[in-house]
Structure 1
Amino acid sequence: MPDLQGEAGAALTSEESADEQHTAPTKQKRPSAQLIALLVGVAVVGYGLDQATKAWASNSLDPARPKQLVGSLLQLRLTHNPGAAFSIATNATWVLTIVAAAVIVATIFFARRLRSKPWACALGLLIGGALGNLTDRFVRAPGGGKGHVVDFLELPHWPIFNVADCCVVTAACLIALLAFLGIGIDGRRAGDDKTDSPESTKDADV
Structure 2
Amino acid sequence: MKNKIFYLIFIPTVILILDQITKFFVERNFPLHKPVEVVGNYLRITFVYNPGIAFGLNFGENFPYTLLAVLITMFVIYLAIKEISYLSFFAYCLIIGGAFGNLFDRIFRGFVVDFIDIGINENLRWFVFNLADSVITIAIFLLIIDSFLKRRKGN
Normalising by structure 1, we get a TM-score of: 0.66
Question: In 2 relative to 1, CA 70–105 (structure 1 residues): closer, same or farther, beyond 3 Å?
Answer: same
Alignment counterpart, residue 104 of structure 1, candidates 61, 68, 73? 73
Alignment counterpart, residue 95 of structure 2, candidates 126, 129, 136? 126
CA RMSD of aligned residues (A): 1.9
Following superposition, the deviation at residue 90 of structure 1 comes to 4.3
Unaligned runs of 5+ in 2: 120-124
1:81-128 residue CA offsets vs partner (Å, 9 max, x unmatched): 011121123425322212210111112222232333212210111000
Unaligned runs of 5+ in 1: 1-30, 141-146, 184-188, 192-206
- State the distance in 2 between where 1:117 and 1:64 align: 40
Aligned amino acid, residue 41 of structure 1: F
The 5-angstrom pairing of residues 45-60 of structure 1 reads: 45-60=14-29
- State the distance in 1 between where 2:146 and 2:111 align: 33
- State the distance in 2 between where 1:89 and 1:190 align: 41
**Structure (1/2) with the larger helix percentage:** 2
- State the distance in 2 between where 1:99 and 1:64 align: 27
- State the distance in 1 between where 2:17 and 2:135 align: 12
Alignment counterpart, residue 74 of structure 1, candidates 38, 43, 49? 43
- State the distance in 1 between where 2:81 and 2:115 align: 35
Identical-residue share of aligned pairs (%): 32
Question: In 2 relative to 1, CA 98–91 (structure 1 residues): closer, same or farther, beyond 3 Å?
Answer: same
Following superposition, the deviation at residue 173 of structure 1 comes to 1.6
Following superposition, the deviation at residue 73 of structure 1 comes to 1.2
> Does the CA-based 8 Å contact 1:81-1:90 persist in structure 2?
no
Following superposition, the deviation at residue 176 of structure 1 comes to 1.9
> Does the CA-based 8 Å contact 2:19-2:131 persist in structure 1?
yes
- The SS at the match of 1:152 is strand
Normalising by structure 2, we get a TM-score of: 0.85
- The SS at the match of 2:127 is coil
Specify which structure has the bigger relative contact order, considering alpha-carbon pairs within 8 angstroms and separated by 6 or more residues.
2
> Does the CA-based 8 Å contact 2:4-2:81 persist in structure 1?
no
